[in-house]
Structure 1
Amino acid sequence: MSAIKPAALSRLKQGGKTSTASVVRSQSLRSVKLREHALAYAFLLPSLALFAVFLFYPLFKSVYLSLHLTDPRGRIAAYVGLDNFKELFASELFYKSLGATLSFTAWTVPTGIAAALLLAALSYRPMRGIKTFRFIFSLPVAISVGTGSVIWMMLFHPTLGTLNYLLTVVGLPPVQWLTDPSWAMLSISIMTVWMNLGFTYIVLLSGLQSIPEDIGESAKIDGAGPIRAFFRIMLPLVSPSLFFSAIVSVIGAFQSFGQIHILTKGGPMNSTDVMVFHIYREAFVNFRFGSGSAMALVLFAIVFLLTIIQFRFLERKVHYQ
């Protein structure tokens, strides 16, 4: 027994030292993680502050205003609960505005992506002088909405515009681009497709340039023509860029405001009265901030639902490398 006790005591001491070292090590690792987290949040603090001021506060304020009525000065007058939403869904103008927004989205999103994809397919290969064409195709991304709207306002002018001049040259009658209800939405859509073409073109061009060249060479060796190789091989590989462009384009279409405010102001006969412009007119022209905030929340819900649907169904066709 006397021979066993010293050995047992030594093992106990060694075990105690080991457990103490493990505790100290775990505490030091925990303190390192805490310092890393504190440093990360310190770097994120300016961004979080900007999000809080310009995103979260307006969102909560919109929810608050949507439950109240406001006086002509925009001040809170009375609590009405969900009456603003009931009035909104019973309004014929809301459904006309929703229809105009969906029509605008249908005109601009597929056309813009198809045009950008065509230009990217024609210019993604390295050729002499191709950088000049890439610069020209991506140039609209540097033009603001206001500047682009003024340019197209001059082009759409009924008597002095270039478009009507070209129509008269070929023997066609001039078109009232911005004052005819049957042409106003198409005119706004043409301008929007051109304005968004630069960004979509850059995204798709980057996607095509990221595809390894040996894939195209292998398809050529196997006897595939350029058109078949593009649609069967290149297009599936660029599907992540197409998916991203589709989501961004749909969100941008539902948020379009500047070109409509400058060119048509929702007219003629409410043919271009999209939801964002309707919100602007309801809140900042009629000073009905309650109903305007309710419509803004409905617009947020629609965009959120459409984004989920795109992720649910379109992402299945995306081929990630």
Structure 2
Amino acid sequence: MEEIVIIESKRSTWEKVKGYGYLLPAMTILSIFMFWPFFQTIYRSLFLTNNLGQNAEYLGLGNYTELFASESFWNSVLVSFKFVIIVVFVGVVLGFITALLCQKTFPGIKIFSTSYAMPMAIASAGMAMIFQVMLNPTVGIVNRILGTYINYLSQPSSALLVVGILTGWLNSGMNFLYFSSGLASIDDSLYESASIDGANGIKKFIYITIPSLKPTLFFVVVTNVINAFQGFGQINILTKGGPGQATNVIVYDIYRNAFMNYRYGYASAESVVLFSIVMILTIIMFKIRGKESA
């Protein structure tokens, strides 16, 4: 039998670098709008800045030392984690339930699907203003229905919960689309086989639906956690971090230190810490996902 000889042709220098040339426009845009501001933030966090945001005095890790010794900062961290838990729970549960409701065909299904996905099309600032009217202690529909005259946004015990529920509802529209796509990808033959074996609806849900949706659920949770840590607009409109510091999440504290107190270096240090927290949580979630898949 004649032996087949494979001759590898040598690539020219242009052919070797051509692929990087295609990536150059995207890398340039990312460098200008993402990487450069990120490294500038890290650099500025090492300085004391003036009111114009210009570096005035090198402090080294002075901003970080002051930051970690601040009770206000640690309160913001605690409030942020509480806020994230509320937002993720409300957003994921609402998105999942509404996606399940739209899996069955019935008259008006398109209207219901559109209404469930509507939150993703509403600006958080606009919805926050509507929510503010709804929660008005005298004319708001919430107090009218409950027969109360409570200003929930001025109560430290309820302000964070209210803002968290609003943010979770706003995220539920996109979650609805993700879960709907995941449910639609499940093979109907799995349910048919389970029915032949005598499985009821609850067993189908536990042993077929939930395991099949694990990748989608993981993706939804990760994206919701990241988005929740970045929540700002609704807090700025509804509570401005109050009452007291009940809703003063890290992002709003960064805004307050940078644009109200003009401490840009200190706010930059907070931004770096926030980035580190989100990155660590994301890595942990991916590690947990990897162990479950192994």
TM class by shorter chain equals over 0.9
| Aligned with 1:252 (options 221, 224, 227) | 227
Instruction: Give the residue type in structure 2 aligned to 1:266.
Output: G
Q: Name the CA distance, whole Å, in 2 between partners of 1:244 and 1:219.
A: 27
Instruction: Give the residue type in structure 2 aligned to 1:69.
Output: L
Counterpart position of 2:112: 133
CA shift digits 1:60-99 (9 cap, x unpaired): 1011101100122322111010011000000000000001
Q: Name the CA distance, whole Å, in 2 between partners of 1:44 and 1:157.
A: 52
Q: Match of 1:78, SS?
A: strand
Residue 231 (str. 1) matches residue 214 (str. 2): no
Q: Name the CA distance, whole Å, in 2 between partners of 1:200 and 1:246.
A: 9
Q: Name the CA distance, whole Å, in 2 between partners of 1:34 and 1:150.
A: 57
Counterpart position of 2:65: 86
Q: Which has the larger radius of gyration?
A: 1
Q: Which has the higher helix share?
A: 1
| Aligned with 1:67 (options 46, 49, 54) | 46
Residue 52 (str. 1) matches residue 31 (str. 2): yes
Residue 281 (str. 1) matches residue 260 (str. 2): no
Q: Name the CA distance, whole Å, in 2 between partners of 1:245 and 1:318.
A: 17
Larger displacement relative to structure 2 (245-254 or 41-50): 41-50
| Aligned with 1:35 (options 11, 15, 20) | 15
Q: How many pairs align?
A: 290
Counterpart position of 1:13: none
Q: Is the 8 A contact 2:90 2:168 kept in 1?
A: yes
Counterpart position of 1:12: none
Instruction: Give the residue type in structure 2 aligned to 1:285.
Output: M
Identity %: 40
Q: Please, which runs of 5 or more residues in structure 2 have no aligned partner? A: none
Q: TM-score, with normalisation over the residues of structure 2?
A: 0.93
Note the C-alpha offset of 1:149: 1.2
| Aligned with 2:195 (options 216, 220, 226) | 220
Residue 112 (str. 1) matches residue 80 (str. 2): no
Q: Name the CA distance, whole Å, in 2 between partners of 1:97 and 1:238.
A: 33
Q: Match of 2:153, SS?
A: coil
Note the C-alpha offset of 1:315: 4.2
Counterpart position of 2:143: 164
Note the C-alpha offset of 1:197: 0.7
Q: Match of 2:245, SS?
A: coil
CA shift digits 1:147-186 (9 cap, x unpaired): 1112211111221211111111xxxx23211111111101
Runs of 4+ with >6 A deviation: none
| Aligned with 1:97 (options 76, 81, 90) | 76
Counterpart position of 1:306: 281
Q: Please, which runs of 5 or more residues in structure 1 have no aligned partner? A: 1-18
Q: Is the 8 A contact 1:240 1:318 kept in 2?
A: no
CA RMSD of aligned residues (A): 1.9
Instruction: Give the residue type in structure 2 aligned to 1:166.
Output: I
Counterpart position of 1:77: 56
CA shift digits 1:211-255 (9 cap, x unpaired): 111111111111111122012111100110000001001111111
